[in-house]
Amino acid sequence: MKKMFAVKVEEGREGREGLPSVGPVYRNLLAHHHFPPIDPHLSTAWEIFRASAEKYPGNRMLGWRPFLDHKWGPYVWKTYEEVYGETLCAGSALRAQGIQPGARVGIYGSNCPQWIVAMEACSSQSLICVPLYDTLGPGAVDFIIDHADIDFVFVQDKKVKELLRCKHARRLKLIVCFTSMTEEEKDGAASIGLKSYSWNDFVRMASLSLL
């Protein structure tokens, strides 16, 4: 039996009198007839995530397929409790680097578990998460870094070299790679006075300070 997760609540409409066409409207099954009441205790994205981790600690949250021996393996999962703990460590490590609430943190890379953890880490410390997109070319990343006054960046391994080539990379104070960096990349970051960490080293730095 096919599972349904959404229900159509409004039909689409053809464009008329200069107005564009509009597609049908779908909602979650729980909001078929009306939206559920808002929980007065949940007012931010961080509070929603924390409540989910407390209520469903053993449930699967983030999954990925490791690429081994030139082929994709089966899904590997982290639970809400595991992701929550990793998020707290990443947030603590950010604060240990001197970042203050309201600062902007860039995230540069494709969707992956680390992307989500980095975003939630920003939420945990009242930091502003700024996605860095290069769909309009590498110059777009440079523009966003400068325009948004970004000092800290989480970056995917295959994007590190592009990031270091940005004209405004010198304004950055810290980059954290989703996996690990090559010695050449570490040297390149150090040459412009930029601190760099692998993901595991960065998270471990905070976890050790919490012992």
Sequence ranges of the domains in the chain:
1-37, 45-209
Whole-number percent of the chain with pLDDT over 70 = 97
Quick one: pLDDT at residue 192? 94
| pLDDT tens, position by position, 47-62 | 999 999 999 999 999 9
How many Å apart are CA 143 and CA 148, to the nearest integer?
8
Min mean pLDDT across 48-57, 132-141, 177-186 is at 132-141
pLDDT range class, residue 38, cuts 50, 70, 90:
confident
Q: Bridge partners of 152?
A: 105, 174
Quick one: pLDDT at residue 135? 87
Min mean pLDDT across 67-76, 120-129, 170-179 is at 67-76
Q: What is the pTM of this model?
A: 0.83
Domain 45-209 CATH superfamily: ANL, N-terminal domain (3.40.50.12780)
